[in-house]
Chain A
Amino acid sequence: MAVIAPPREQEPRVPPPGLGQGRRPPGIITDRLFKWVALASGLLVLVILGLIAVTMTREAWPWFSAEGLNVFSTTWDPAKGEFGAGAMIYGTFLVGIIALLIAVPVSIGIALFVTEVSPRPFRKPIVYTVDLLAAIPSVVYGLWALAVLTQPLADLYSNISSATSGIPILDTLFAEPSPTGLSFMTAGIIVAIMIVPIITSITREVYATTPASLKEAAFGLGATRWEMIRGSVFPHSRGGVVSAVMIGLGRAIGETIAVALLIGSSQRVSAHILGPGDSLASIIANQFNEATGEQRSALIGMGVVLFALTVVVGVLARSVVARFDRRTGATL
């Protein structure tokens, strides 16, 4: 019992001499019991993740076995009994990518503003304010966007669409704008607002680990602040920022309620980003309570697909962080 908080698990503890070999020293039962209770609580994480995978796959099995590889087909037609997840997987990633394209530059900007630009006394209040964005519930974002944003956005979309007609690529991308404003784009914009806080907070911590010596060296060579950021801060934190983006993507593909209210619930694969679509999470939210039979099983199956996607993205993000940790010794 010499070392406290040992780096490795200790050998079973020997009772201190003088307390007698036959009798257990006082308190040792509580000590061991507590350790086991604590361990059990930790293992709960493992148990829950295992149960999620097992019970959900079991309930989704009728769908997996009935459709076979068709689970990835792009036709979703409950009336005909065709349940393919392809369109929803596409929509999930499209919304995620739109959200990242908006959120990443903004988040990097805020992180730089907090760590390098703003005067010191303002830094904490700024961080707290940006974190408040994360405190607003998803459903409130959805309600607000539905009431305030969708109409102006619909007008904007139709203008963009007519302005770009005839230009290759863009005229496909912006064709057939949604007259209600419910679209991949609208969902992406709102999800972007929702993932800014998480990407900002990780990026900010990564930037803060840039050694002062690197920054001073850049300034010493006569660099402007922007040149210092480009030459010292960015190269130092590339890995950390990549993992922040991955974690943001994980959040974006799991976003449910706001997307369910804003994406337009149209199960199709379409390059028209200003038109309606659907995502894995939002179709579950919108259809689960009314669904029965294979449709319900298919929706649970989409939960399994979503779970698998977020786990893969999370593991990738984590492994980037691990590499970053080894290289710089920074902790996230």
Chain B
Amino acid sequence: MNASTTMLAGGSRLTPGPRSRRRRISNVVASGLIFLAFVVAIVPLVFLVVYVVQRGMEVFGWAFLTENPPFSERLDGGGMAPAVVGTLLITGAAALMSIPLGVLGGIYLNEYGGKNPLARLIRFLAEVMTGVPSIVMGIFIYTLVVLNTKELNGLAGALALACLMLPIVIRTTDQMLTLVPRELREGSQALGSRRVRTIRTVVLPSAAPGIVSGALLAVARAAGETAPLLFVIGITSEPNTSLTNGPNTALSVQIFFNATRPFAPAQDRAWGAALTLILIVFVVTILARLVTAFFARRQPA
């Protein structure tokens, strides 16, 4: 009936009937749909990135990164210097707070807690905390910090981002430490090292690439967040390099504010800010991948 299939079946008498054809067709259709799913996800990614680059390049440049916005949002030109400074400062401060604490927490979970009830509870809650929406962290810091200090500043924003990053760093560290072979720890202890020394000189170095890459991904996510900053950092039109003194701003917040403004120059600046933000986030994300790739090749686990 169908020459090519009979050939494939090695000339056997298994003549493909209508049932077999239906099975083949459904296999092809399903494979096609599976491939289509991948295309459907990639299309928006490509369109979005291309569009942001196109619109962003109209205003992007050194001046855009270093100049203040003009005094009226209807005016062309000017830049996003205050937001660039704010994003780097606030994200940096959040990283400095959450990464050391998160790594310590992860060390507790894997090196001391293991499977005891407390460690299980913390692990469980860290997972729940990863799912807490970022806007809740914003309101939380507003009620806990801003209402008490009566001040809008970069530090409050950094605290909100740190709350968001902490559970991610704890979980990554915990998972990466489980991958360190037990023999390494035993070898170190057999040589007479105490726990801390073993952790510092043997366990952490071998888990470092994974932890660094996980921490960088958390930084990338935090840098793009808008909701936690919306109510706690205020707004400024001049770069503010102080975390505690006076209000600050960030690229994400500027995009949100300018996106719905009816003035073309304000929207152009929103696109410029979007391009800047995507560049920052992608560079950090790619850095994270490079760390993983580089070390995976150097020390095959």
A contact residues vs B (CB 8 Å cutoff)? 1, 4-9, 27-28, 30-31, 34-35, 37-46, 48-49, 51-52, 55-56, 58-59, 105-110, 112-113, 116-118, 126, 128-144, 146-148, 193, 196, 200, 224-227, 229, 247, 250-251, 253-257, 260-261, 281, 284-285, 288-289, 299-300, 303, 306-307, 310-311, 313-315, 317-318
Which one of B35-43, B57-65, B74-82, B237-245 is at the A interface? B35-43
Asked whether A284 lies within 8 Å of B135 as measured between CB atoms, the reply is yes
- Majority SS at the chain A contact face: helix
**A133 to chain B: closest residue by CB:** B45
Q: B274: CB under 8 A from chain A?
A: yes
Q: Tell me which residues across on chain A come within 8 A of B84, comparing CB atoms.
A: none
CB nearest neighbor in A for B281: A135
How many angstroms from the CA of A161 to the CA of B40 in the assembled complex? 24
Which residues of the partner chain B approach A146 to less than 8 Å between Cβ atoms? 259-260
Known A-B contacts: A137-B277, A227-B23, A311-B131. Give 14 more (CB < 8 A): A4-B188, A42-B122, A45-B166, A45-B167, A51-B140, A109-B33, A113-B34, A113-B37, A133-B41, A133-B44, A224-B27, A225-B31, A257-B226, A257-B256
B125 at the interface (CB under 8 A from A): yes
B47 touches A28 (CB 8 A): no
A112 to B23 Cα, complex, angstroms: 19
Contact pick for A113, options B35, B104, B116, B226, CB 8 Å = B35
Q: Are the CB atoms of A45 and B170 closer together than 8 Å?
A: yes
Contact of A254 among B133, B231, B271 (CB under 8 A): B133
State A242–B219 Cα separation when bound (angstroms).
29
In the complex, A303→B133 CA distance in Å? 9
Known A27-B197, A132-B282, A137-B252; judge A256-B37 contact (CB<8 A).
no
**Of residues 265 to 291 in B, which have CB atoms within 8 Å of A's CB atoms?**
267, 270-271, 274, 277-278, 281-282, 285, 289
Determine the main DSSP class of B at the interface with A.
helix
Q: A6-B114, A45-B125, A226-B26 are in contact. Are A110 and B37 (CB under 8 A)?
A: yes
Q: Name the CB-closest residue of B to A229.
A: B30
B139 interface contact, C-beta 8 A: yes
Q: Which residues of A contact B112 (CB under 8 A)?
A: 9, 35, 38-39
Q: A56-B140, A306-B136, A313-B131 are in contact. Are A281 and B227 (CB under 8 A)?
A: yes
5 CB < 8 A contacts A-B: A8-B115, A59-B143, A261-B259, A281-B227, A285-B227
Tell yes or no: B155 within 8 A of A by CB: no
Q: Which of B35, B42, B110 contacts A129 (CB 8 A)?
A: B42
A250 to B129, CA, bound (A): 11
CB of B7 within 8 Å of the partner chain:
no
Would you give the shortest CB distance from A308 to chain B, in whole angstroms?
Answer: 10
User: Is the CB–CB distance between A5 and B185 below 8 Å?
Assistant: yes
User: Does B195 lie within 8 Å of A34, measured CB to CB?
Assistant: yes
Q: Which of A7, A113, A254, A261 contacts B114 (CB 8 A)?
A: A7
Docked CA distance A42–B117 (Å):
13
Do B135 and A285 have beta carbons less than 8 Å apart? yes
- Does B207 make an interface contact (CB < 8 A)? no
Tell me, in angstroms, the Cα distance from A272 to B134 when the chains sit together. 28
Once the chains are docked, how many angstroms separate the CA of A152 from the CA of B79?
31
The smallest C-beta distance from B36 to any residue of chain A, in angstroms, reads 7
In the complex where A106-B41, A136-B281, A285-B227 touch, is A45 in contact with B105 (Cβ < 8 A)?
Answer: yes
Report the minimal beta-carbon distance from B217 to chain A, rounded to whole angstroms.
Answer: 8
Q: Which residue of chain A has its CB nearest to the CB of B26?
A: A226
Contact: A4 with B282, CB < 8 Å?
no
CB distance from A58 to the nearest CB of B (A): 7
Evaluate whether A109 and B36 lie within 8 angstroms (CB atoms) in the complex, with A27-B197, A135-B220 already known: yes
